Each structure stands twice: as C-alpha cells, then as structure tokens.
Structure 1
Amino acid sequence: MVTLTEPRVLQKLDGPPWDIDAYLKVGGYEAWKKCVRELSPEQVVQELKASGLRGRGGAGFPTGVKWDKVLNHRVKEHYFVCNAGEHEPGTFKDRHLLKTAPHQLIEGCLIASHTAQAKASFIYVNHEYEEERENLKRALAQAKERGFVGKNILGSGIDIDLQVFEGHGSYVAGEETAMLESMQGRPAMPRQKPPFYPTDFGLYGKPTLVNNVETLCNIPRILYKGAQWFTQVGTEKCPGTMMFSLSGAVNRPGVYEMPMGITIRQLIETCGGGVPGGRKIKAVFPGGPAFSMITADQLDLAMDFDSLKKAGTGLGSAGVIVVDDATCMVRQTLKFSNFFKGESCGQCPPCRMGTINLANLMTKIEAGEGTQKDLDSLLQLCGFVKGTGYCTLVTGASVLVQSSVKLFRHEFEEHIRLHRCPYPAAPVDTTVH
C-alpha cells in the first residue's frame, strides 16, 4: 500500500471554503472548463472507467459504469441528484466535505450533470446541516457570478442550474429511491422493486444519476490530474482514497482521508491515536451498525470494499465505530436497535414490526428480564425478517443483532443468568450521533 503523501480529495485552501478565488488557485474549475471546451460526455465516462473510481456512498459500484448507463439510456430525458442526505450512524464525512469543499462539490455536480445530459440538477442536503448548506449556497452564488453555473456557461451554450433541495427525511431517506420520492412531495419511503435502480426509473420516472458527496468530490481531481494519478494509491480493485469517519473509543475522532486498503489497526492507531485510557478494543463496526462487527483479532483487515465483503462484513460509507472492552455489547446493540426501530418508515410490515420486536427483546435482555427462550426468539426473528424489506434497513437491524450474538453470546447469556447487566450501571442512550 502506497502512503498518502498528498490529499486526493481534501485540499488546503488559502481562504474560507466558499471563496472561489481560493479554490481557483488550487486548480478549481479547470476540469469543468475542460469538459465544457474539450471533452465529450463519452470521453468523461471513459476517463472515469479508466480511474476505477467506485461509489463512496455504500455499495462501491463503479462510477463510470453508472454514468454510462444514464448517458446512453434509451429514454433521453435524464436528471441528476447529489445525495447529501447523510443520516448513517457514525458517518459524517459528507457533512465535512460540504462544509470545507463546497466549490469542489459544485464542480463535481456540474460535470456529472453535463455528462448525464440532465434536464435538471439538484443537491439534496440534510436539513440539519445548516452551516454546511449556507456555505454551499454562498459558493454556488459565486460560481454563478463567474459564469460556471447558469445560462450559456463560459460562452459554450451549455445551461445548467444547480438547485439546493433541503431534505427533511430520516435515515431511510438516504436510500436513493426514498430520497427521490421525498423530492416529489411524497413520503420518504423506498420504492417497491422492480424497477431496481434510479438509473432506469428515477426522478419523475426518468433515468437519474445519483451520487453521494464524496464520490462527486473525486471527479474534478480525476479529470484534472488524470486517471493514472488517481490509481497511484489504494488497491488494484479499489483505487484512490476514502474519507473515513472515525468515532467511538478513540482519542482523536474525526474525518480522515486515507488510501483504500489501509488496515483497521492503522486507522485506529495512526489516525485515531489509539483507545483512551489504555483500554483494549472489543469490537469495530467497519461500515456502521448495519454491517457485521469485527473483533480485536481482525484488526489487520484491509479497509476496502472487497476485502471486508470477503471477511463477512462491509465498508459501506466508512463510518468506523470503535468499541472498547469497558462497553456492554448488549447495551451497545440495544442502542442501535432502538435507532433502527425509530428510523423505520413503516411501509413494510416485516420492517415495521420486526424492528420493534427486535428492540423489545433487546430491551428485555439488557434489563435482566430475558430468558434463553427470548434469546432464541431474537435470532429466529432475525432470520424471518432479514432481506424482506423494500430497502436494507430491517436487514441492517438483523445483521446487527446476529453479529452481536454470534461474537458476544456469553454477554447475552450472562445478562440472562444474573438477571441484570454485569457491567456498571449506566443509562441506555438511545440517541445515535
């Protein structure tokens, strides 16, 4: 693995983040000028395919392939949406990019919109991100003044009007189809499948290109520096860097840009400064609570989509949550179970009832009122509801519980045997930050 000697996404600006002149000094909008004056949409797609960039929103789908599908869809009315509706527990990298790199996001959105030949283009922003949204609007106003956005961009005859859409959805609104539903004035509920992807049936029923903030912030740098530059770090199948949101039991929580393929141990020790108080690591959620945990003997796993999938977990949007040995895993699991219960949109009966019943059984066991039958019922319920929802929320809730019981069954059984939590008393915090 190549050490990161310069940032691939994050750039140091000599001025406030919304200052267009500071962004121009580091090569800002040069890639967009190139797209307007030299590169065809097909050439942009080919460069992205050559770079091997994979989506940073969770699935890790090849970005160039997705763009190609929208550009060459048989239906010629297309739309573009940037998904900045981040609600994943332990994930805050898109928020950081919105706050610190609004012009870079705007440039990425312009390139994406033009390449997809979009009729209209939107940036869907979490309503809680007030400062970030204001930074974005200030940057967008400056970009319009300089002729990078709006009518007849740079005298090319190209018209693109980026609109900021304030999203009032919940965790489930981060799912692409639920987000698109809410943008059309309907409840933020995932669509029944098929059709499966917004690239076929998206906004207003038309092919829609949807990318998250981090993916789009990579685009200007790739087109400005070249695909070969991008592939100098990372792994063969997962080139480039990832913005890791590191939280939980670490001395220095925060957002860290590191090469794909960095180990979990390196991320925690080098970036996070290790675990506070000299305590030991009990578990790590490498991709947030919707993916299986890994234990202390797996800290040398590589942080990339394929390695973690092979290990039975996932990278997701890289919300890395570290749990130390002073933490009750039953209590920790209950905390996230309550989150999933509260965030279910209620559309699918297995999800609506499943998340409630999972949380209820977890509450009973954590309180010392559970039985062996309750533990058996908990696992049985996971098997019943896993994979049954229109989106992955109930599957994530099931994977969380299954992973916790598989790795820390002795803690669940200790709660049942003692009729209490064996860890020091503490209020159950049901708020997930």
Structure 2
Amino acid sequence: MPTASEPRLIQQFEGAPWEIEGYLKAGGYEAWKRCVQDMKAAQIVEELKKSGLRGRGGAGFPTGVKWDKVLNHRVKERYFVCNAGEHEPGTFKDRHLLKTLPHQLIEGCLIASYTVQAKASFIYVNHEYQEERENLHKALAQAKARGILGKNVFGSGVDIDLQVFEGHGSYVAGEETAMLESMQGRPAMPRQKPPFYPTDFGLYGKPTLVNNVETLCNIPRILYKGASWFTQVGTEKCPGTMMFSLSGAVNRPGVYEMPMGVTIRELIERCSGGVPGGRKIKAVFPGGPAFSMVTADQLDLPMDFDSLKKAGTGLGSAGVIVVDDATCMVAKTLHFSNFFKGESCGQCPPCRMGTLNLAQLMAKIEEGQGTQKDLDSLLQLCGFVKGTGYCTLVTGAAVLVQSSVKLFRQEYEDHIRLQQCPYRPASVAV
C-alpha cells in the first residue's frame, strides 16, 4: 500500500518534475507516444474502463464510460476541456498538481484529446493561479520544442495542440456548463436542463469531454503501467489513490496522496499530524462545505465515493476540513453560508434568494438576536430550496445548514437562549 511518502500519482523523479528532463527520465510521455503510434482510440477507452478510474472532481463518474460516450457520439465535431477552475474552500490539490506536475497533466490532456478526436482542446485555469499558469505555459513550450505536441507528433502524422484559457469565473464557474458558457464569452451561469451533460451539448453546442486535473494526471500512469497496476490499491469499486487537501485544525495542512478507502482518522493522524494544542476533533467536512459534516465518532469512515454516500455525505473533490472543539459551529456555518451567498450567480431565484436568506438567518442567530421561530424558518427554508437550482450551489448551502443544525442543535439553542455566542470570540475561518 503506498504511503504519503510512496505515492503512485506523484512518482519519484530525478530532478525537478516540473521540468521536462525530469519528467522524461521517469517515463513521461511514453504513454502518449504509445497511444499515437500503436493504440486505437477504442483500446485506450477499454484500458481506462478496466482500470475502474472514476472522476476525481465530484460525483466519481467512471472515466472510461465518459470518454466512450464522446468518442462514439453521432456528432463528429467534438471538443476537450480540462477543468482547472478550482475555487472551493478547502480544495487546493489542482493548484499543487499544476505547480509540480504540469507535464503529467499535459500528457493526460493530449491522450484525452486524441482519444475523443477533439477539434480543439483547452485547459481552463483559475485566473488567480498566476504562477501555476505561467508554469503551464513554460511546460507546453518545452513539450512543443521536443515535438511532443504540435505538428506531426512523434512522426505519426498526428497534429494536436492545447490552449490555456484564463478563467475569470467564480466558484459556480467550476460547474461544467457554467465553465463552458464563460469560455464562449457569456456569463458563468449553469445551463438550464435539459440537455443535461456536456458529453451531448458542450462547447459550441457540440459533444465535449470535460475532466478535472487529478483525473487527467492519472491517465498517463494507467496507460504506461497498465490497468492491473492501478487497481492494486484502493477499493474494489474505487481503485487507485486520491489527492486529499487537508486544512483547518490540523498540524500539517497540505495535499496528501493516499489510497481510496483510507479512513478519515488515518488522514488526520498519519498525514496531517493530528489537531494542534491537544484539542479534540469536533467535526470534519470530508468533501468540503457543500457536503454534510461527520462527527468525531465517525472518523473510521472510509474515504471513497460509495462509503461516504452511504453515510449521508460525499467525497466531492476531497477537500477535507477539520474543525476542533474550540470552534463555534454556528459561526463556522455562517462563514460558509456567506461564501455561498457571495458566490451565487443569481440566475435562478431559489439560489439567489435562498442563499441570501439562509445567511441572514444564520447571522441573526450567531449575533444572539435569533428566536426559536428563526431556527424553524432556517430548516424550513433548507427544505424549500434544496434541489431547485440549475446547479448544486443552493443545494450545498442548504445541506451545510441542515447538517450543522442536526449535529449541533444544542449550540443553536444556546445562542437563542443566551442571546449571544457562548464561545470565545471568533474561531479562525478556514
């Protein structure tokens, strides 16, 4: 089993992995060369299906199935987009991969674009990631100078290129359809459904393959070492490793690669060195603030898509936020409620008004001005707005509040009874 010091996605490099020489020495671009010289698109897709790789950006959809759908779409004009628009609280693994492994991402993008026969291919990067974007441009120039992309790749007759798109969107622009809208010069607003998926109606209204950074960084290693190698770790239904972003009340915040199915406890104790000051864990967001929290008695839950879903929460992009017992959960929930309020694009009324009203009621209770009626209204509002938006933002905002009240109702009632926050002034926001 790989450890944090023996990862499988981030290999042991001779020299700087962000430079092409170090990447080539570790077998970099060999999978890409094999694809254009020896493999058909259907063979690539089949190998991904055998690996069981699931998307590392949200719902964990099988990667091979998604690629297959675009490859075999009746519409022949297709596109590819790498989604590096990371903007969620507690999630910073894409930034880490862009900075340290740009060539591995480029190789994954080239294979994806080639496989689905994309007319054009893009890497959509968060505009705040200036250093990472410059690093990516440098890596692309290095690869082009070596004939790895551009005209007649590896003498195969294949012409392929990647364009970096600077995304000036927000949190909601991370939603696939909102991202694609912004790339076409329109506001970053999720599309009304149907059509449901970019695989049918994506960029310019054509079938589009969208994958996130970590998913694509897995592709070269799977094709270089084989699907059976990839399935040696992880769980049966969620093989491989995952990059976990750990933050909050931990001694060593950072990005850790561990096998799928690792427990929350092992992530916190083994990787991030536990909680500072000898304090106890009060709650953990296993997949960021848009998913339900878990409490200290659930730390042995496996961190994989299916186990967390069964437990009533979710893995998402694995932004693990730890909350200690010195934190007021009303204040913490208000902090994230304000985030959702500020990030709503305002397109659909349930989200525009729902996130605003949720934040207002949360603030009223936190400030000691709330009543029992306000608490009842808060939960009623969650029920009204959940599942009503064009994207999942308002649902995430409602799930956050519902989870907080369910698990820590006594704290809400104490705020109302005492007419003030019973905790010390303000815990530090994540």
Q: Which residue pairs with 2:78 in the alignment?
A: 78
Q: Which residue pairs with 1:38 in the alignment?
A: 38
Q: Which residue pairs with 1:173 in the alignment?
A: 173
List per-residue Cα deviations over 1:194-241 (Å, max 9, x = no partner).
000000000000000000000000000000000000000000000000
What is the letter of the counterpart of residue 233 of structure 1? V
| Count of residue correspondences | 429
Distance 1:7 1:27 in 2: 16
Q: Which residue pairs with 2:371 in the alignment?
A: 371
Kept in 1, the 8 Å contact 2:327–2:427? The answer is no
Q: Which residue pairs with 2:104 in the alignment?
A: 104
List per-residue Cα deviations over 1:383-413 (Å, max 9, x = no partner).
0000000000000000000000000000000
Distance 1:6 1:340 in 2: 37
* CA drift at 1:428: 8.0
What is the DSSP-based 3-state SS (H/G/I as helix, E as strand, rest coil) of the residue aligned with 1:420? coil
List per-residue Cα deviations over 1:124-160 (Å, max 9, x = no partner).
0000001111111100000000011111111111111
Kept in 2, the 8 Å contact 1:260–1:304? The answer is yes
* CA drift at 1:18: 3.2
Distance 2:427 2:329 in 1: 14
Distance 2:257 2:2 in 1: 11
What is the letter of the counterpart of residue 91 of structure 1? T
Distance 1:135 1:3 in 2: 28
What is the DSSP-based 3-state SS (H/G/I as helix, E as strand, rest coil) of the residue aligned with 1:152? strand
Distance 1:264 1:412 in 2: 26
List per-residue Cα deviations over 1:407-430 (Å, max 9, x = no partner).
00000000000000000123885x
Q: Kindly tell me: are residues 428 and 417 of structure 1, through their superposed partners in 2, closer, same or farther at Cα, counting changes over 3 Å? A: farther
Kept in 2, the 8 Å contact 1:19–1:139? The answer is yes
Q: Which residue pairs with 1:337 in the alignment?
A: 337
Distance 1:425 1:278 in 2: 20
What is the letter of the counterpart of residue 24 of structure 1? L
Distance 1:426 1:18 in 2: 40
Kept in 1, the 8 Å contact 2:2–2:8? The answer is no
What is the DSSP-based 3-state SS (H/G/I as helix, E as strand, rest coil) of the residue aligned with 1:317? coil
Q: Is residue 161 of structure 2 the alignment partner of residue 161 of structure 1?
A: yes
What is the DSSP-based 3-state SS (H/G/I as helix, E as strand, rest coil) of the residue aligned with 1:110? helix
Distance 1:13 1:417 in 2: 59
Equivalent positions of 1:242-391 (< 5 A) are 242-391=242-391
Structure 1 vs Structure 2: percent identity of aligned residues?
86
Distance 1:91 1:426 in 2: 22
Distance 2:395 2:374 in 1: 20
Structure 2, unmatched stretches of 5+, are: none
Distance 1:190 1:377 in 2: 28
What is the DSSP-based 3-state SS (H/G/I as helix, E as strand, rest coil) of the residue aligned with 2:306? helix
Q: Is residue 387 of structure 2 the alignment partner of residue 394 of structure 1?
A: no
Equivalent positions of 1:71-220 (< 5 A) are 71-220=71-220
Moved over 6 A (4+): none
Q: Is residue 254 of structure 2 the alignment partner of residue 233 of structure 1?
A: no
Kept in 2, the 8 Å contact 1:17–1:135? The answer is no
Distance 1:428 1:251 in 2: 14
Distance 2:301 2:377 in 1: 32
What is the letter of the counterpart of residue 318 of structure 2? A
Distance 2:209 2:186 in 1: 20
Distance 1:23 1:426 in 2: 45
* CA drift at 1:88: 0.9
Distance 1:62 1:399 in 2: 25
What is the letter of the counterpart of residue 119 of structure 1? K
List per-residue Cα deviations over 1:83-117 (Å, max 9, x = no partner).
00000110000100000000000000000000010
Q: Is residue 414 of structure 2 the alignment partner of residue 414 of structure 1?
A: yes
Q: Kindly tell me: are residues 217 and 3 of structure 1, through their superposed partners in 2, closer, same or farther at Cα, counting changes over 3 Å? A: closer
Kept in 2, the 8 Å contact 1:275–1:324? The answer is yes
* CA drift at 1:161: 1.1
What is the DSSP-based 3-state SS (H/G/I as helix, E as strand, rest coil) of the residue aligned with 2:217? helix
Distance 2:375 2:428 in 1: 20
List per-residue Cα deviations over 1:18-77 (Å, max 9, x = no partner).
311110000000000000100100000000000000000111000000000000001111
What is the DSSP-based 3-state SS (H/G/I as helix, E as strand, rest coil) of the residue aligned with 2:159? coil
Kept in 2, the 8 Å contact 1:18–1:138? The answer is no
What is the letter of the counterpart of residue 363 of structure 2? T
Q: TM-score, normalised by structure 2?
A: 0.99
Distance 2:112 2:410 in 1: 50
Distance 1:423 1:179 in 2: 40
What is the DSSP-based 3-state SS (H/G/I as helix, E as strand, rest coil) of the residue aligned with 2:134? helix
Kept in 1, the 8 Å contact 2:214–2:243? The answer is yes
Q: Which residue pairs with 1:426 in the alignment?
A: 426
* CA drift at 1:15: 2.9
- Coordinate RMSD, CA, aligned: 1.0
Which range moved further: 250-259 or 145-154?
145-154
